[in-house]
Amino acid sequence: MVRAQALLWQEYQREPALDELAEVMQCAKEYVLLLLQLQQELVSLEQPVYSEDESTLLGDQIAVPDNTEQREQQAKIANLLKYLSPQERRVIETRYQLGQPADAEDSPLPYTEVSRRLGMTAKLVKGVEARALMKMRYWGKQGHVFAAGAE
């Protein structure tokens, strides 16, 4: 829509009419009207915000979420992984995509995908995962979550 507005502005040297925008965009007038309303509500993060002592950008004022709790949880899991056999560790890391970028999907991979990646049967993956999770629960309850990291 912004490109269509710029194109029509250059052509007519005025703000384009609703039906002109709809024609260029090849859509209904109601859709263009909705987009125009949404455009009015948008606020740029580059918009200056003036405070008593200085001016800053709106984006600088947005609080960054504290990932301390998430980092602590990741540290606990990493320490519990030390109690697993290499095969168990590979299954857990692959199935739950541990060590992947933050934008990776949160849901576990299907057993068929894990078995394909690790060259194991899906039944074996399920059994190894069950054993590994049981061990992790046991060591977590024993208070060994941070003991392995203190070595």
Instruction: Out of 40, 61, 82, pick the residue that ends a domain.
Output: 61
The answer to pTM > 0.85 is no
* Tokens 């740029």 sit on residue: 44
pLDDT tens profile 64-99: 666 787 788 888 888 889 989 999 999 999 998 887
Same domain, 29 and 93: no
What CATH number should be reported for the domain holding residue 123? 1.10.10.10
Look at residue 115 and tell me whether its pLDDT is greater than 80: yes
* Long-range contact pairs involving 106-115 (C-beta distance under 8 Å, separation at least 24): none
Question: Counting runs of H as helices and runs of E as strands, what totals does the chain give?
Answer: 8, 2
Instruction: Out of 45, 61, 77, pick the residue that ends a domain.
Output: 61
Tokens linked to 26: 């090849």
Same domain, 54 and 78: no
Tokens linked to 117: 């990646």
Instruction: Out of 61, 91, 111, pick the residue that ends a domain.
Output: 61
